Amino acid sequence: MDKTQLETFLTIVEQKSYSKTANLLNVTQPTVTARIKNLELELSCSLFERVGRKIVPTKEGTVFFEYATNILTYMNHSKEVTKHSNFPEIRIGFSPGYSYSFMTELLNAIITIENLNITIIEGEDSCSLNEQILSGELDLVFTRNVSAHRPEIITEYLFDNNLVVVLGKDHTLAEKDKLAIGDLEGETLISYRRKSNLWNEIDQKLVGVPDIKRIDVDNNEMLMTIIESGIGIGITPSLGIHRLKKNDIVVRKMKDISNIPNRVYVQYRKSSIIAAPVKKIIYSIINHEMEVTCN
């Protein structure tokens, strides 16, 4: 069993065709057929059958699909680990909504780790980040929900990143100590990434509130800038508030919104090469959250 056989098998499952697979892999159809026959001989079973015009996995092929996916992931990851064993790289993914000050403190902690390459991305949402760590695209992710249990992935709960309401200092609602959902009637609500699961939960709480105007922006920093200017109200995780902006905005709790679960989980790939730096990165994030809570 080798990488080309596994890639060929997985491509056939996706394309449901030997000829399309051959075109995608830039090989002849007999080559595709030979690879699958050799794989079937090794596994002592048939992996595909024809249903109409489509090629679909047999019962055994369906079972083998998950194993093939994992094996190929292990192969690709072990290649990267070996390549960077003396100078490892960690690919980190975050859910949207962390402030620049949070990311700056994280980077300050990271640059103290010698002989380490770091790639940081902001994912579309937690679901996409979970898919990326399972596929081997990322080594470490911070999300609001966890992926399916896999033995190669370690999952730890860190803390709650509660949602809060943010307003400009001169906004009329800034005079209230606590806000209710009804207070949003007729207000302009600034949001970002409204297609995410988190915003779906927020919108469910807002059903029935009349005359809410909507402005959707690209990211959390843009939201904070607009709020600071006095236009509208924002809803954001508490770690999305820039420390330096705290004197320019008002932060309020809204019971129905703050009760929406928004836990921060860390998930990372088991690897002795990256174990120490991963722990240091996690500790820096926990320390940041504790400082924010205390302040």
Q: What's at 54, amino acid-wise?
A: K
Q: Where are the alpha helices (DSSP H) in the chain?
A: 3-15, 18-25, 29-43, 59-83, 100-110, 126-135, 197-206, 220-228, 255-258, 275-294
- Alpha-carbon distances of 162 from 81, 212, 221, 255, rounded to whole Å: 36, 23, 18, 11
Which residue type does 80 have?
E
Give average pLDDT by consecutive 10-residue segment, the chain, 295 residues: 85 91 91 90 90 89 85 68 58 78 69 72 83 86 80 85 89 88 91 82 90 87 85 86 70 89 86 73 68 53
Give the whole-angstrom CA distance, residue 181 versus residue 207: 10
Of 287, 288, 264, whose CA–CA distance to 143 is shortest? 264
- List of residues 6+ apart from 15 with CB closer than 8 A: 21, 24
Q: Which residue, of 28, 57, 76, is where some domain finishes?
A: 76
* pLDDT computed for residue 191 by the predictor: 87
Nearest-angstrom CA–CA distance, 45 and 61: 8
Last residue of a domain, one of 56, 76, 96: 76
Domain that holds residue 35: 3-76
SS3 of residue 273 by DSSP: coil
Q: How many domains does the chain have?
A: 3
Same domain, 14 and 68: yes
Say what the pLDDT of residue 230 is.
84
Q: What's 147's domain CATH number? A: 3.40.190.10
Would the pTM of this model clear 0.95, i.e. be above it? Answer: no
Residues 44 and 57 grouped into a single domain: yes
